[in-house]
Amino acid sequence: MNTRRSFIKKSSLVTFGALNLNFSPLLKDINGVDISVVTYSFNPGIEDMNIIIQNCLDSGSDNLELMGNHVETTLGMPRSKRSHADWRANISMKEFKNVKKEFKNKEINIFAYKPYCMSPNNSDDEIEYAMKATKALGAEFLTAELTTEENTKRISKFAEKHNVNIGYHAHLQASDTAWDFALNDSKKNFINLDIGHYIAARKENTKETLLNFILKNHSRICSLHLKDRQAAKPLNLGASDNQIWGKGDTPIFEVLQLVRDNSFKFTSSVELEYRIPEGSNRVNEVKRCYEYCNQALNS
């Protein structure tokens, strides 16, 4: 498993130094650690694919976990959710191969695809669509929410049929054993570890247990989601506990340094969820998060 963007050839690594929001070269890695971004960071709602591409260029992002709504809408998926299953079952995979070309032409790699059609309520046809689209995009992983054992077993059958790796994402059910049934069910199943959710999930989840979890499971981790949340404080929809990086309880510095010092090959993805400060915007805040990664990995 290797998430490096082999098609991008650069002569040197990027060093940000002082944060300069007017200068945004494409990133490869920072001291050997692959830094990527979840496109949710740019716009959590429905957005045009070309705007996402421009957001990547403006922020210096060259490796993505691509949200389904950031490409499906551009490809013509109807607004009505009642029509989504039928649309997914019938769209040509040539459309997704063209999407891959659009991103690759801008030197942007899609390492993971996350369509919102992997829940117990979605049809088998939608699960199969997700597998085919992931391969057409050239992504190494299809990412999905960690739900029930029954649904995971259903997804595993399609993953093995299509030879697709699945990265499972946990929210406040995150624990040291939350992924056990998925990992035991299939070798195609991996952990998409959100370190902010892990810290916020329960008092038993601490900096020490998080670092130990990564050490123990690194070979089954497909990617990290980086965000800063407060410890054991579940998400309040009216007042999110997501913090500007460095203000919360999530040990982002220590996690990135662990990845660096052990030469782990999975990517670490910026997922911007804190409130955007007045006078800033999402692109600038993604760059601010990159600078935070740069500080951690050069310490």
| Structural domains of the chain sorted by starting position, each given as residue range(s) with its CATH number in brackets | 35-297 (3.20.20.150)
Residues of the chain where predicted confidence (pLDDT) is lower than 50: 1-25, 237-238
What are the C-alpha distances in Å from 52 to residues 37, 175, 183, 193? 11, 32, 32, 23
Q: How far apart are CA 275 and CA 272, in angstroms?
A: 9
Is residue 36 within 8 Å of residue 63, measured between CB atoms? yes
Q: Which two tokens stand for residue 294?
A: 């740069």
Please tell me the predicted confidence (pLDDT) of residue 28. 61
Q: Give the SS3 label for residue 130.
A: helix
Return the ∠ at Cα 46 (arms to 42 and 50), rounded to 5°. 65
Nearby residues of 98 by Cβ (< 8 Å), 6 or more positions away: none
Q: Is the pTM of this model over 0.85?
A: yes
For 235, which DSSP code?
A: P
Residue 245 DSSP label: T
What is the enclosing helix (H) or strand (E) of 142? strand 141-145
As to burial, measured by CB atoms within 10 angstroms (0-12 exposed, 13-18 middle, 19+ buried), residue 163 is: exposed
Report the alpha-carbon distance of residue 41 to residue 282 in Å, rounded: 7
How far apart, in Å, are the Cα atoms of 6 and each of 36, 137, 138, 240, 259? 14, 15, 13, 38, 20
User: 62-98: buried (b, 16+ CB within 10 Å) or exposed (e) per residue?
Assistant: bbbbbbbbbbbbbeebeeeeeebeebbeebeeeebee
- Tokens standing for residue 183: 């990992």
Strand partners, 112: 65, 141
Place of tokens 């740069």: 294
